[in-house]
Structures are given as structure tokens and as C-alpha cells.
């Protein structure tokens, strides 16, 4: 069993520029590595630091791992500067190829804050596509992921629509540091996002104050 305190080296096999601010790193670990859906990894650069990221690749793929990273700080800026081997709108839409593939099998509805020429989807906040969407709240579950303020109002809208708190799943990726439940940065009430999450049902969190902070 791999020692979780021991860094696992990896090679950058490919870099995919998803948007002007987001890149996906395709990494090949030098040892066998696997993860489960919803888990995160600690990704770091020697002499720079490390931070938690949720893999964006299929957990069934074992020979490599993909991590999509937004350039927002010192570490992510350095990660964006890595090379192989060593205006808001449709241009910031992630995974356009995957969305096209999903649309062939399931109903995909998109929304953007500001539309650019040629965009045919909804324009507005995420909550606007829920207003008249044909949802059977008794048989459906919801998975909410994104900035805290968006998650907050989306969750409140889902409750208004009649969803049970037990059927709303939240990806609570707080400001983690150690990733092992020691530093306390990601604590929500009695829970630690790094150890007990990052995915929680709203039923567990709804009575805890300030969960969106």
C-alpha cells in the first residue's frame, strides 16, 4: 500500500488548453495509481507547494490521470507554466467535445453568463434553467458543483422545487491545506471535507451554520 505521506512522481504527458484560464494536465504516475469518483489528490511542485485538486478523468482509466486547473494563484500559475515532459462566454466553456458526446445519449442543457455570437443555449444564472425544466423531483437526484455562491442559490432553488435534502449532492471543495484532516482548514461542523467528503448530501450539512463561507 502506498504511503500517503510519500510524494508520487509523475510525468506531464500532455497539456490541453481548455479555456484561456484553464488547462488540463495529463499525468502519468511513475507507479500504479488509482482513485475513486469524488476523491481528490494533492498535486504539488517541488519548492513551490501543493494543493488539492479533483481529477477530471475517468477513474476506470489506470495508466494516466487528468487534472483540470484554473490559473488563480501562485501554485496554479506555476502548474500552468509546465510544458510537455518536464471575454466570459462560450470561450470559457469546459469540455466542449465531451458535451457534444453526452448530448447524443442524454439531455444536456447549458447556460452562460454572457453569450457570444453563435451560442444557442440559455443565458443567465444556473437557477434560470431550473425554473421551467421538466423534473420529476420524486425520482431525480441533483449534483451541484461550482463556486460557493452558485451552489448556495442553486441548492435553495432545488429545495423550493421540492427536492429532498437527501437527494441533493454537494461537492464541498473548501480551502484545504494538508488533505489529511490535520490542519482544520476545511472543517464544516463536525466534518472534514478532505476526509469525509468532498461530496456530501445536503441533508448532512443543512443545519450547520455558514457552510457556504
Bridge partners of residue 45, in order along the sequence: 49
For residue 117 the three cell numbers come to: 455570437
Predicted structure pTM score: 0.68
Assess whether 76 and 138 both reside in one domain.
no
Domain-embedded: residue 102:
no
Is residue 49 in some structural domain?
yes
**What residue numbers bound the domain in which 131 lies?**
125-213
- How many Cβ atoms from other residues are within 10 Å of residue 94's Cβ? 13
Instruction: Say yes or no: 72 and 133 in one domain.
Output: no
Residue 14 and residue 26 in contact, taking contact as beta carbons nearer than 8 Å: yes
Q: What CATH number is attached to the domain comprising 37? A: 2.40.30.10
* pLDDT attached to residue 1: 53
Tens digit of each residue's pLDDT (9 = 90 or more) over 105-137: 988 888 887 777 777 888 888 888 887 778 888
The confidence score (pLDDT) of residue 91 equals: 67
Contacts of 75 (CB under 8 A, 6+ apart): 44, 45, 48, 49, 50, 51
Tally Cβ neighbours within 10 Å of residue 111.
Answer: 15
Among the candidates 46, 80, 114, a domain finishes at 80
Amino acid at each position: 500500500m502506498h504511503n500517503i505521506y510519500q510524494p508520487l512522481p509523475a510525468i506531464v504527458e500532455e497539456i490541453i488548453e481548455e479555456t484561456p484560464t484553464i488547462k488540463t494536465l495529463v499525468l502519468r504516475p511513475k507507479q500504479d495509481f488509482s482513485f475513486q469518483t469524488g476523491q481528490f489528490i494533492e498535486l504539488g511542485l517541488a519548492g513551490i507547494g501543493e494543493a488539492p485538486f479533483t481529477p477530471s478523468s475517468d477513474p476506470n482509466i489506470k495508466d494516466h490521470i487528468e487534472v483540470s486547473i484554473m490559473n488563480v494563484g501562485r501554485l496554479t500559475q506555476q502548474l500552468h507554466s509546465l510544458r510537455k515532459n518536464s471575454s466570459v462566454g462560450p470561450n470559457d466553456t469546459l469540455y466542449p467535445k465531451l458535451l457534444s458526446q453526452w448530448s447524443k445519449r442524454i439531455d444536456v442543457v447549458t447556460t452562460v453568463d454572457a453569450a457570444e455570437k453563435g451560442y444557442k443555449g440559455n443565458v443567465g444564472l444556473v437557477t434560470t434553467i431550473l425554473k421551467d425544466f421538466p423534473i420529476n423531483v420524486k425520482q431525480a437526484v441533483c449534483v451541484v458543483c461550482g463556486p460557493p455562491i452558485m451552489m448556495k442559490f442553486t441548492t435553495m432553488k432545488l429545495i423550493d422545487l421540492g427536492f429532498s435534502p437527501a437527494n441533493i449532492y454537494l461537492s464541498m471543495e473548501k480551502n484545504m491545506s494538508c488533505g489529511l484532516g490535520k490542519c482544520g482548514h476545511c472543517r464544516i461542523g463536525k466534518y472534514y471535507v478532505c476526509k469525509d467528503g468532498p461530496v456530501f448530501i445536503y441533508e448532512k450539512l443543512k443545519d450547520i451554520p455558514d457552510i457556504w463561507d
